[in-house]
Chains A and B, each alone.
Chain A
Amino acid sequence: MNELLKLLEKNARYDVKDLAGLLSENENELAKQIEVYEKDQVIAGYHTIINWERADVEISKAIIFVNCVPERDSGYDKLAMRIARYPEVESLSLISGKAEFMLVVNAANMREISSFVAHKLAPTEGVNGTETMFILKEYKNNGFMFSDEKEDGERLLVTP
């Protein structure tokens, strides 16, 4: 069933009929399997990748490294969940290296991100320090190119 998950990861809009054809599976069974994945949070959600710059909508994104201390019982998990619940936080990962967490945060503008860091993130108990890097331009997002440069290799209509 990894193949099913990989297909859906690339394109959440596949309909079950097409998936059944591609995987040589029964349509009803496949639909049930997807439901199970959704229920078990193996499929945690579906989202659309939007090139906001092209849509002419101003948003700001930043990568924030967070230094923090682990708690005696829960390690980093409890703190991670406290931070992750903020809607500004698009993704949060525990990482190796000089910081403990890496966040991708997005908001309407840089001022809002600064305010989020100053008033919510930095004062959180357990957070020792933050380092914020604003994203200036996105070239690739979740496997999709955001570039105007198209790869335009053309095949002939009929070849041997």
Chain B
Amino acid sequence: MIFDDEINNTVRYLKPSGIRKFFDLAATRKGVVSLGVGEPDFITPWHIREEAIHAIEKGRTFYTGNMGLYDLRKEICNYYKRRFGVSYDPDKNCIVTVGGSEAIDIVLRTLIKEGDEVILPTPAYVAYAAIIELAGGKVVEVPLKEEDEFKLTPEALKKAVSAKTKAVILNFPGNPTGGIMTHDDYSKIVPILKENGIFAVTDEIYAELTYEGKHCSIASFDEIKDRVIVINGFSKAYSMTGYRVGYILAHKDLIAMALKIHQYMIMCATTPSQYAAIEAAKNGDRDIEEMFISFKQRRNYIVKELNRIGLKTHMPQGAFYVFPSIAISKMGCEEFCEKLLEEENLALVPGNAFGDAGEGYVRISYAYSMEQIKIAIERLEHFLKQFK
């Protein structure tokens, strides 16, 4: 690289995503069956697509206000009240963002001062650590354990807290583990956050895919609500990944600060997508239910099949991933995935792409048709025979 010395050091030394590396590898091959995708397999429900088309036809293609369309913010707040029992004011507590990704970025840039520590339970979605570092923060990883069902325990959290701790990232249901936190689980960590004045940045993008019981938002704990920042979006609940519509719900003073970054960097989320999102939030509850049932059934199927072929897999309670241990192979997860791709043309994602705590595991997405899942299981079963 000829410009190395001139590049911003944080960017220069930022670790490239392990997923990107694996995508490049898989893309060179033909006939690959992949269970490596982190997005739903449903095409966006037609009534939502139709709203986006209608918005374009009607010429609704100008910038919107920085915070996003009022009607969309209103529907988002209605949705949070209706589905999770948490109240927010659309005028003061909500910004519509370009996907959950922008929301993560501007929230962390708003909060982090140089040298602040951010607690990150791992394995975790790949963007968190990178964005914390880009914002000048220091990542403090807390490994989530399979025996704890990949939940954040109060003991692990306490151990990670220091005088420099600014925030903790919560992503439950989580990518890549499918772990969830119940009301009981949260009630054990809320006092620690309160006592230490730690912000909870809670990415609830998979909230609608909570299989046992109802999703609990940590924002429902009034004693810390001012320090909870909810990140969510339309990608996973309504299968709208390509629309890029997310949002932040938080205390008005934090929203005012985050809005400063958003207005200079982004201006506003894509206008036709915002109109589509209004339709989703208003009339999409039935779509959520249908996708939920389909994902739950495929989860049941794949967990049973993986255990049958000898890959020890815990039953995840959320999202659309399973995170089985590959201990049986006595291989590192990258070697396992590379060999699997080479020998069986099957693409899974190595667990360590989500942090060191993911070593020894692979992420398998079941957002695929039954036909694809069956072929993948056959290939995996064939591959595993050599380890028996």
Q: Does A3 contact B (CB under 8 A)?
A: yes
Instruction: Choose one: A6, A151, A158; the contact of B23 (CB below 8 Å).
Output: A158
Q: Does B279 contact A (CB under 8 A)?
A: no
Q: Which residue of B lies closest to A24 (CB)?
A: B300
CA distance A133 to B376 in the complex (A): 48
Does B41 lie within 8 Å of A155, measured CB to CB?
yes
Given the contacts A21-B300, A24-B304, A159 and B370 also touching, CB distance less than 8 Å: no
Q: How large is the interface on A (under 10, 10 to 19, 20 to 34, 35 or more residues)?
A: 10 to 19
Chain A residues, CB < 8 A from B37: 155-159
Q: Bits for A108-119, please: 1 = Cβ < 8 Å to B, else 0.
A: 000000000000
Given the contacts A3-B293, A21-B305, A151-B43, A156 and B23 also touching, CB distance less than 8 Å: yes
User: Which of A21, A156, A159, A160 has the most CB atoms of chain B within a 10 A radius of its CB?
Assistant: A160
Q: Does A153 contact B (CB under 8 A)?
A: yes
Q: Which residue of B lies closest to A10 (CB)?
A: B294
Given the contacts A157-B32, A157-B347, A160-B127, A7 and B297 also touching, CB distance less than 8 Å: yes
Q: Does B267 contact A (CB under 8 A)?
A: no
Chain B residues, CB < 8 A from A158: 19, 22-23, 26, 34, 36-37, 347, 349
Does B297 lie within 8 Å of A22, measured CB to CB?
yes
Q: Does B17 contact A (CB under 8 A)?
A: yes
Does B300 lie within 8 Å of A157, measured CB to CB?
no
Q: Shortest Cβ distance from A123 into chain B, in angstroms?
A: 44
Chain A residues, CB < 8 A from B175: 160
Does A3 lie within 8 Å of B23, measured CB to CB?
no
Q: Bits for B16-47, please: 1 = Cβ < 8 Å to A, else 0.
A: 01010011001100001010111101010000
Q: Which residue of B lies closest to A7 (CB)?
A: B297
Q: Shortest Cβ distance from A150 into chain B, in angstroms?
A: 11
Q: Does A23 contact B (CB under 8 A)?
A: yes
CA distance A39 to B85 in the complex (A): 45
Does B23 lie within 8 Å of A157, measured CB to CB?
yes
Q: Lowest 7 A-B CB distances belong to which pairs?
A: A158-B36, A21-B301, A22-B297, A158-B23, A24-B300, A157-B34, A159-B38
